[in-house]
Amino acid sequence: MHLDPFELHEPATVEEALELAGTLSGKFDYLAGGTDLLPNYKMHINLRPHLISLERVSELRGVSSNRIGAMTRLAEVEESPDLSRAYPGVAEAVREVATPLVRASGTVGGNLLLETRCFFFNQTYPWRQSLGFCLKADGDRCHVVPQKERCYATFSGDLAPALAALEAEVEVAGPSGRRRMPVEHLYNAAGDGILRLSLVPGEIVVAIHFPESARRARSAYTKLRVRPSFDFPELGVAAAVWGAAEAPEKVRLAIGGLETYPRRFDEDTDALAGAPLTDARVRTVAEAVTRRVRPVHNTFLPPDYRRRMTEVFVRRTLSRVRAPNGSVAA
């Protein structure tokens, strides 16, 4: 499989990159590790004539205990003992991404921004052409929910929920300067599988920042997928709990792999603060969350199963972190 010709740009600084982005507006993609973008390009999905590689932008690199540069390879995160100790949920999520070979190239920024996925989208050009192109690339209808003019492609990144549960922030740089926002705000809850991000065109993800409080949380990530490597999440549940087992200060839950964006469930988890996380209370939250998620049939496992597993996975993930030793008297 070949790549159609494009022009590659290799800026050395964020500013240079933004300038290029301004000039090439609408005609480029950023390239990080390429493990998401290049397969799509090989399948001739939404090609652009220019690629702006972020590989040489040194500011985007580096891992410390409270910051991960966007161009940090997933493998580097995995190998950082500091991060793994501080944010076990993130470490678990990173270890579960794709395969070791993909993690050698794949970056944190690319993982947050990876394309949403769908059986009718992640296909070669002839395949899509033969079915009739869909809304998300070259076409005007959806093969999953044909009644609607909306795209249901699934957000399939593992890191976003893990970071969102820890209330991590993302720093972005754009034409009008830099800003920081909670990770989950990167995504457009009011959008769909196409209008999936809240970024303005040209914006670059610079880094992830962990608030001081994140180090105090107990966190975990549980991933549903058919095989223990290769497969994208069909459901990914991240949980974080702050404070004592008897009276947690705060509980956060974030879920990916089910809908068009990774989602937090603060309405449900806020009620968990202050009283022991008993089996019954954990179950109640798990059930409430399950009632609200709406997976569709565009991944390998049937949506009903993925929805029902949400209850199990939320329960299990919360149970793992509800107390320092995982168990609480009912």
Partner 1 sequence: MASEASPYRLLGTRIPYIEGPLKVSGRAEYTDDLTRPNLLVGRLLRSPWPHARLRSIDVSAARKMPGVAAVLTGEKYPTTFGVLPITHDETALAVGKTRYIGDILAAVAASDELSAERALAAIQVDAEVLPEYSDPHVGLGAVAEPIHSRGLNGSNIQKEVHQHFGDVDAAFAEAAHTVRVRGTFAGVTHAFTEPLVTMAEATPDGRLTVWSATQVPHYLHRALSEVLGIPLHRIRVLKPEVGGGFGGKSDPLPHEIVCAALALETGRPVKMLLDREDVFLTNHGRHPTQNDLRVAADAEGHLLAYDLSAVIDGGAWSSFGTVTTYYNGVLAMGPYRVPNFRYHGRRVYTTKPPSGAMRAHGGTNVRYTIETALDELAEKLGMSPFELRMKNALPPNSTTITQFRITSTSFLACLKAARERSGFDEKFRKLPYGRGIGLGCGFYISGSNSPIHFTPKMPQCTVHLKADMDGGIAVHCMQADIGQGSNTLLAAIVAEVLGVQLERVHVVPVDSDVSPVDIGSYSSRVTFMMGNAARQASERLLALLLAAAHELTGYPAKQLRVREERYEVAHRPEVGVSYLEALHKAMEHSGALQASGAYTSPPMGGTHKGARAGTAPAYSFAAYVAEASVDAETGFFAVEKVWAAFDCGRPLNRLAVEGQIEGSIHMGLGQFMGESMNYRGSRLLNPSLLEYKIPTPQQMPEVEVLLVGADDPEGPFGAKEAGEGPLVAILPAVGNALYDAVGVRFYDLPVTPDKVWKGIERRRAEGTPWKGT
Partner 2 sequence: MASRPLRTRVNGTALERTVPDERILLDLLREDLRLTGTKRGCDLGTCGCCTVLLDGRPTLSCLTLARSAEGREVTTIEGVTPAEGLHPVQRAFVERGATQCGFCTPGFILTSVALLRDHPHPSREEVARAISGNLCRCTGYTKIIEAVLAVGGGK
Q: Candidates 18, 31, 70, 135: give the one binding ligand SF4 (CB under 6 A).
A: 135
Three-state SS for the chain is CCCCCCEEECCCCHHHHHHHHHHCCCCEEEECCCCCHHHHHHCCCCCCCEEEECCCCHHHCCECCCEEECCCEHHHHHHCHHHHHHCHHHHHHHHCCCCHHHHHHCEHHHHHHCCCECCCCCCCHHHHHHHCCECCEECCCCCCCCCCCCCCCECCCCHHHHHHHCCCEEEEEECCEEEEEEHHHHECCCCCCCCCECCCCCCEEEEEECCHHHHHCEEEEEEECCCCCCCCCCEEEEEEEECCCCCCCEEEEEEECCCCCCEECHHHHHHHCCCCCCHHHHHHHHHHHHHHCCCCCCCCCCHHHHHHHHHHHHHHHHHHHCCCCCCCCC
Distance of CA 194 to the CA centre of its chain: 15
Q: Is 153 in the site for ligand SF4 (CB under 6 A)?
A: yes
CB of 5 to partner 2, least distance (A): 4
Spatial separation of the C-alpha atoms in residues 205 and 209, rounded to whole Å: 11
Q: Candidates 121, 155, 210, 232: give the one binding ligand SF4 (CB under 6 A).
A: 121
Q: Which does 2 bind (CB under 5 to 8 A by kind): ligand SF4, ligand FAD, partner 1, none?
A: partner 1
Stretch that binds partner 2, among 109-117, 224-232, 261-269, 318-326 (CB under 8 A): 224-232
Q: Candidates 104, 271, 288, 312: give the one binding partner 2 (CB under 8 A).
A: 104
CB of 55 to partner 2, least distance (A): 6
Number of residues counted as binding partner 2 (CB under 8 A): 30
Residue showing the smallest CB distance to ligand FAD in the complex: 110
CB 97 within 8 A of CB 106: yes
Residue number with CB closer to ligand FAD (37 or 285): 37
What token pair was written down for 34?
A: 């390429």
Q: Candidates 70, 241, 255, 321: give the one binding ligand FAD (CB under 6 A).
A: 70
CB of 95 to partner 2, least distance (A): 9
By CB under 6 A, what part of segment 262-321 binds ligand SF4?
Answer: 298
Stretch that binds partner 1, among 49-57, 124-132, 184-192, 287-295 (CB under 8 A): 124-132
Residues in touch with partner 2 (CB under 8 A) = 1-8, 10, 31, 33-35, 38-39, 42, 51, 53, 55, 75, 98-102, 104-105, 228-230
Residues in touch with partner 1 (CB under 8 A) = 1-2, 4-5, 119, 122-124, 126-127, 129-131, 224, 226-231, 300-302, 305, 308-309, 312
Residues in touch with ligand FAD (CB under 6 A) = 29-37, 39, 54, 70, 74, 97-98, 102, 105-107, 109-111, 113-114, 156-158, 204-205, 230-233
Residues in touch with ligand SF4 (CB under 6 A) = 118, 120-121, 134-136, 142-144, 151-153, 193, 298
